[in-house]
């Protein structure tokens, strides 16, 4: 088996899928990339068993074949080559590989490709198509709110909820929740499943640089994302996602509208003085005045700032974890936000004052922190 490929083109392809590899694997074969030549196409796969990423590139080749190549070794080698054609020669009996460049030769040992786990085949999957920009937006707006609790794996991914008139993406860690909906994309039937955060993080990095359409294929076990020359297949998280609609308060008579950048920078400054365990900031709203304050009694630290806002409702004092509020404000793409509240012990809801698009609906919910008066 022999093929010729551009060093920089191959490096770019390998780097695009290298993120799926784990630093420590139970199966040694997973420390490798799988190279497969068919016709003039080189298909490269990387896997951690839960997720598999596959990319394709055109090469000069006369023979077909397969081999597993040590990932770290080939990446480090290619990073140190200037742009030039490289010739890969593989002995399929010994799995030995020779890389020939303009100035030298490099020999390494590969492995039997048959040991490499096969990419899961989705039987009779359902399909949805949406633009890379919309899908990237959906991942970006929800991923930060996923949980890290191993005891509640259903919260460690993003819940995809597809209907005939909308696509919805939901994430929660029990302290905060994000619901992102699109009405300009839809599925043929109703479906819901939970996708782990690792493949979504990898997709987020790839989707920013493409304008292609993403095809999502899914069944009850796996999901496959396909765009450009890239395929990402992931096992779904097994379990039932919390009934999130029940925790969203429907009646919120107290509504504060405020500049998002002003509130974000104020909470960032004030939270430096908050207790390092609770990260609590206090919002006191009276009329058009908002006082943002924090204190750490252990070190006699305190800070407060006054901001101007537009407010409808009764005077109110409520506490939040500043880290959650900062995350939410960072992940909203608008000038002004509306914070809707019903009582100091009930969840607060944050939405953009003006939606970024008529087809987009985003709602962020955060649980309050008990104030110690």
Same domain, 105 and 144: no
Q: Which of 22, 71, 77 is nearest to 44 (CA)?
A: 71
pLDDT of res. 373? 64
Same domain, 138 and 198: yes
204-259 residue pLDDT tens: 999 988 889 999 999 999 999 999 999 999 999 999 999 999 999 999 999 999 99
Same domain, 240 and 132: yes
Provide mean pLDDT across the span 86-111: 94
Residue tagged 């080749």 (tokens): 61
Number of structural domains found in the chain: 3
**What span, in angstroms and rounded, lies between the C-alpha atoms of 244 and 196?**
18
pLDDT at 96 over 70: yes
Number of neighbours of residue 259 by Cβ within 10 angstroms = 17
Residue that terminates a domain, selected from 245, 262, 295:
245
Contact 45, 116 (CB under 8 A): yes
Q: Does residue 161 sit within a domain?
A: yes
Provide mean pLDDT across the span 94-100: 95
Q: Does residue 373 sit within a domain?
A: no
pLDDT at 150 over 90: no
String of DSSP letters for 264-291:
HHHHHHHHTTS-TTT-EEEEEEETTEEE
pLDDT of res. 238? 96
Q: Does residue 372 sit within a domain?
A: no
**What span, in angstroms and rounded, lies between the C-alpha atoms of 276 and 288?**
30
Long-range contacts of residues 308-312, Cβ cutoff 8 Å, at least 24 apart? 308/258, 309/256, 309/257, 309/258, 309/285, 310/256, 310/257, 310/258, 311/254, 311/255, 311/256, 311/257, 311/285, 311/287, 312/253, 312/254, 312/255
CA 290 to chain centre: 33
Same domain, 161 and 111: no
pLDDT at 372 over 80: no
Provide mean pLDDT across the span 306-325: 96
Same domain, 56 and 162: no
327-346 residue pLDDT tens: 999 999 999 999 999 999 99
**What span, in angstroms and rounded, lies between the C-alpha atoms of 288 and 269?**
21
Q: Does residue 371 sit within a domain?
A: no
% of the chain surpassing 70 pLDDT: 100
pLDDT of res. 25? 86
Q: Does residue 226 sit within a domain?
A: yes
CATH number at residue 61: 3.10.150.10
Residue tagged 């292609």 (tokens): 212
Contact 139, 120 (CB under 8 A): no
CA 341 to chain centre: 29
Same domain, 168 and 239: yes
Provide the angle, in degrees to the nearest 10, between the axes of the packed helices 322-330 and 260-271: 150
The whole domain housing 23 covers: 2-115
Provide mean pLDDT across the span 90-103: 93
Same domain, 188 and 89: no
pLDDT of res. 68? 97
For β-strands 230-235 and 348-352, DSSP reports them as unpaired
Residue that terminates a domain, selected from 55, 80, 115:
115
Residue that terminates a domain, selected from 90, 115, 140:
115
Contact 196, 171 (CB under 8 A): no
284-301 residue pLDDT tens: 999 999 999 999 988 999
* Reported pTM: 0.92
What single DSSP character describes residue 190? -
Q: What residues does 11 pair with on adjacent strands? A: none
The three-state secondary structure class of 370 is: coil
């Amino acid at each position: 088996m022999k093929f010729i490929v551009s060093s920089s083109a191959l490096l770019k392809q390998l780097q695009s899928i290298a993120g799926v590899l784990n630093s420590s694997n139970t199966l040694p074969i997973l420390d490798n990339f799988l190279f497969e030549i068919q016709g003039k196409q080189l298909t490269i796969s990387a896997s951690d068993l839960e997720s598999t990423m596959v990319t394709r590139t055109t090469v000069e080749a006369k023979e077909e074949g397969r081999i597993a190549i040590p990932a770290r070794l080939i990446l480090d080698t290619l990073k140190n080559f200037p742009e030039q054609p490289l010739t890969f020669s593989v002995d399929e009996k010994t799995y030995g590989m020779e890389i020939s460049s303009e100035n030298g030769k490099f020999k390494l040992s590969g492995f039997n490709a048959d040991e490499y786990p096969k990419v899961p085949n989705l039987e009779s999957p359902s399909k949805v198509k949406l633009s890379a920009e919309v899908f990237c937006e959906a991942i970006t707006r929800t991923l930060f709110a996923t949980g890290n609790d191993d005891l509640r794996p259903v919260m460690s991914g993003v819940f995809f909820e597809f209907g005939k008139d909308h696509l919805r993406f939901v994430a929660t860690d029990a302290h905060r929740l994000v619901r992102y909906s699109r009405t300009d994309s839809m599925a043929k039937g109703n479906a819901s499943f939970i996708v782990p955060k690792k493949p979504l993080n990898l997709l987020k990095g790839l989707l920013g640089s493409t304008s292609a359409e993403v095809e999502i294929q899914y069944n009850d076990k796996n999901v496959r994302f396909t765009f450009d020359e890239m395929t990402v297949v992931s096992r779904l998280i097994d379990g039932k996602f919390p009934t999130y609609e029940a925790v969203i308060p429907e009646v919120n008579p107290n509504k504060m509208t405020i500049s998002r950048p002003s509130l974000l920078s104020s909470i960032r400054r004030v939270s430096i003085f908050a207790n390092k365990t609770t990260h609590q900031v206090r919002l006191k709203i009276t009329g058009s005045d908002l006082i943002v304050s924090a204190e750490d009694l252990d070190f006699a630290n305190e800070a407060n700032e006054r901001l101007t806002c537009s407010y409808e409702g009764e005077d109110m004092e409520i506490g939040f974890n500043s880290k959650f509020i900062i995350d939410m404000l960072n992940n909203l793409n608008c000038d002004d936000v509306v914070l809707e509240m019903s009582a100091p012990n009930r969840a607060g809801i944050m939405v953009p004052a003006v939606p970024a698009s008529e087809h987009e609906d985003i709602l962020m919910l955060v649980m309050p922190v008990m104030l110690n008066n």
